Chain A
Amino acid sequence: MNPDTVARLRDACARAAQTLGDTAPEGARRVAERLGVAGIVTPAAAPARDVPRLLGALHGQLLRETATTISAAFSAAGLPHVFVKGIVFVDDLYPPGARELADIDVYVARDAAPAARATLESLGFRVEADDPDRGPSPLRPGLTLVRAATSDVESAVVDLHWGVEPLTSLLPRDRTPLPRGVWDRARQGRLPAPCPGDHAALLVHHLVHHDFLHVVSLVDLAVLWPQVLADEGTTFAATARALRAGRVARIVADVLARDLGLARPPRLEAAPSDWRARRLAASLRLDRWLAWAAAAGPSTRAAITPGRVGRRLLAVEHVWNGAGVVWDALWPPQAHLRWRWPEARTRLGALARHWGSVGRKVAR
C-alpha cells in the first residue's frame, strides 16, 4: 500500500480518536483496532512476534487453504464461482499478516446454489442459524456456513452468495443476481475473482449495504485503486451503476482523492452536487466516517435505525428509490419481524414493538 495513503489513513484515525474523546497517543491505534485495520494502519506498533497477530495470520493462512479446497471442489462439481474481498486481497495486495481475515466470501449463480451448499456440506460445513448481526436468513440471497473446530483458529466461516442484496430496500431481498459482466470478466488466478473494476464496484456496494461501517472495505478499495485506474475506471463505473451504487461510487472516489490522495478515474463522472450528495459527502469526510464507524457497535448492521435509514436515503441512486427503504422501515417483512421480535404473538404486536423501538430512537 502506498505509504502516503497509509499515513493519511493513520492521521484520519488519530483525528477520529480525538473526536471520540480519546486523546492518548495510542488513540489512533485503538480506533484502527475497532475498525479491523490496525495491521494496515499501525504495522510498526505491533511487533511481528505478537501472539494475537501470529494467531490472526495463522487463521488467515488456514482460511486461504480452505478457500483453495472449496474452489477445487466447486470446479470439480462444475460450479462457476468467484471469491471476493479479503480472501482474494490478503495475498495479492497486502503485506503478510497485515489484513485481518474473518471469513470466506464466494459467489455462485443462483441456480447453482443448492449444489454449492451440498458441496460445502460435503467438506464439513453446516448452515449457521440466524445471526443477530446479519438478520434473518430467509431474506438473504445467501447463506452462512460454518465448519467448527476445536479452536477458533481452525474454524472456518463461508458466506455463500447467489445474489447481491439490493440497495433500494433496507432489508435484504433475494432478487438481484450478480451482473453477467462480472462473470464474463472474472479472472482465474490462485482463486477465481472479479476483475479489479468489478471488484471495486462490489466493495462500494458492500460499503453501502453495511451502512458504511465496514471500513476495511474502504481500505481494500484504496489498495485496489491503482488497478481500477488501468481502464480509467470504465468497468468500475459501469458495474457500480449496474449494482445501483453508481452515485455512491462517484462520491467515494472523491473521498479517496480528497482524503487519501488517490487519483480520480478519468472515465468516472464527477460526483453529483445535489443536496443528498452534499450531505452524504460531508458525513463521509474520512475522520468523521472513521469516528462514527468506530463508535457504532456491530449490532446496528441488521437493525432498523433512523441513522441507517437516513444514510441509505442519501445513498440510493434516485430519490424515488427511497420509497423501498422507507417501506422497509415502516412495514418490515414478516421474516424480519419474527427474527427481531420473536416473543411477539401476532404480526400486529411485532409491528407495534418495531414502531415503538424506531420511535424511541428518533426521539433520542
Chain B
Amino acid sequence: MATPVKPRVRSDVVFRQLDEEWVAFDPVAQRLHAMNLTAALVWEHCTGELTLQDIARAVHATFADGGDLSAVERDVAEMVERFRTEGLLE
C-alpha cells in the first residue's frame, strides 16, 4: 500500500507530549513510539486534510532556519511512510 496523498493518523492512537519528548501509543498493537520534535510536528499535521507538500511547508515554516524545503519534503515523506509501515495511519 502506498503512502496516502493526504495522510491521517489513527484516532485511537494516544499522542502526548511528556516533558521534552513526544510519544504515540498504539492501543491495539500495545506499542509505544517515541518521537522527536520534527516527527511530532509531522504527526500533528497528519489530519487527512493536508498533502505531504502542505505538511512539509508547515514544518518548514515552524523553524526559523528551516533549511532547504525539498530536504524537509523528503524527511516528511520518510516519516509519513514510517507511520504507515507502523500501522499508525488510517
Interface residues of A (CB under 8 A from B): 48-49, 51, 54-55, 57-58, 61-62, 96-97, 149-151, 153-154
Contact = CB atoms under 8 A, between A and B. Distances in A.
15 contacts: A55-B32, A57-B19, A58-B23, A58-B32, A61-B16, A96-B18, A96-B19, A149-B27, A150-B27, A150-B28, A151-B30, A153-B14, A153-B27, A154-B14, A154-B27
B77 interface: no
B34 interface: yes
Interface residues of B, number: 13
B83 interface: no
A49 B19 contact: no
B49 interface: no
Nearest to A149: B27
Contacts of A149: 27
Majority SS of interface residues in chain A? loop
Q: Top 7 A-B pairs ranked by shortest CB distance?
A: A150-B27, A96-B19, A151-B27, A57-B18, A61-B16, A54-B23, A153-B25
Nearest to A153: B25
Interface SS, B side: strand
A55 B45 CA distance: 24
Contacts of B23: 54, 58
A238 B28 CA distance: 50
Given A54-B23, A150-B28, A154-B27, 12 more contacts: A49-B21, A54-B34, A57-B18, A57-B19, A58-B14, A58-B18, A61-B16, A97-B18, A97-B19, A150-B27, A154-B14, A154-B25
Contacts of B34: 49, 54
Contacts of A151: 25, 27, 30
A279 B9 CA distance: 60
Given A49-B21, A151-B25, A153-B27, A62 B32 contact: no
A151 B26 CA distance: 9
B12 interface: yes
A304 B17 CA distance: 44
A345 B74 CA distance: 73
Among B12, B21, B25, B30, max chain A CB count under 10 A is at B25
A150 B12 CA distance: 10
